[in-house]
Amino acid sequence: MFGFIPRQAARQFEGGMKPDPDQRKPLIRLATFADIPALQQLDSLCGLNAWTPDVYKGLILSDSCEVTVWINDRTVIGFCAVRSVCPDLELLKIGVHPERQGEGIATALLHGALSDAIKAGCHECFLEVRWSNNRAISFYKKEGFEMVGIRRKYYRAPVEDARVMRKKMAFTATDVDGATRTNTGRA
Ligand SMILES: CC(C)(COP(=O)(O)OP(=O)(O)OC[C@H]1O[C@@H](n2cnc3c(N)ncnc32)[C@H](O)[C@@H]1OP(=O)(O)O)[C@@H](O)C(=O)NCCC(=O)NCCS
């Protein structure tokens, strides 16, 4: 993702997931075109904005975006879509099948995306979330996001304000003079 990790390559994030060529055990990998119908179904099941196949294709092909899927028994259970404009990362969408929520799947997907983004040089992650989406807001707060703004009437059907949330990400970088600086990720 973000130009330096080979696309289509199944990979596991930190957290102990072992490679599984049959994809029977849970794993997180980059989305492919073959996943698009499942992603659209998750959009609908999760009450998310419906993205067309072309939107998904564009994100999957883009070097500045990453779409990852959480797979169990060859079925797409959850997904996360991000776009990086370094040093910022934008969380575009995250969703988990309603019957599998509360199992830590979104946490694993988000951590994978943030870990990749940090490696690519991102320092902050931003997102918009519907004002009334308490479940997602609890999730983001637990992950260290804080509210930093409001976008009035940002959403349609129904019209609703968006909370803008930000997380400062932990990173260690070496300056041009060789000095190492560390951001703890705390706001
Ligand atoms: C928000 C969402 C992605 C969370 O996915 P998930 O896999 O259930 O989340 P996790 O299991 O990793 O939960 C992590 C934390 O989120 C919070 N959380 C999750 N579900 C919650 C709920 N029903 N009520 C309150 N907090 C909740 C908790 O703090 C939880 O930590 P805990 O289990 O230690 O209490 C999922 O609920 C979802 O798909 N919602 C519909 C789509 C959506 O609203 N997406 C976000 C907008 S783009």
Q: What is the pLDDT of residue 185?
A: 56
Q: Tell me how crowded residue 175 is: count the other CB atoms within 10 A of its CB.
A: 8
Q: Are strands 160-168 and 124-130 parallel, antiparallel or unpaired?
A: antiparallel
Distance 116 CA to ligand 1 centre (A): 21
- One-letter amino acid at 158 equals P
* Minimum CA distance residue for ligand 1 atom 23: 135
Structural tokens at position 29: 């990998």
Distance 135 CA to ligand 1 centre (A): 5
Contact (CB, 8 A) for 94 and 28: no
Pocket of ligand 1 (CB under 6 A): 46, 48, 93-96, 101-107, 129, 133, 135-136, 138-139, 142
- The mean pLDDT value of the chain amounts to 85
* Minimum CA distance residue for ligand 1 atom 24: 135
CB-facing half-sphere around the CA of 3: CA atoms within 13 A: 8
Domains annotated on the chain, with CATH: 27-183 (3.40.630.30)
Q: What is the pLDDT of residue 1?
A: 54
Question: For the chain (length 187 residues), average pLDDT per consecutive 10?
Answer: 42 44 78 98 96 98 96 95 95 98 96 94 96 98 98 95 95 50 52
Q: What is the pLDDT of residue 20?
A: 55
Structural tokens at position 153: 């009437």
Nearest alpha-carbon partner for 59 in 7, 15, 115, 124: 7
- One-letter amino acid at 116 equals D
Distance 163 CA to ligand 1 centre (A): 16
Q: How far apart are CA 34 and CA 56, in angstroms?
A: 11
Nearest alpha-carbon partner for 114 in 64, 169, 184: 169
* Minimum CA distance residue for ligand 1 atom 21: 135
Q: What is the number of residues in the chain?
A: 187
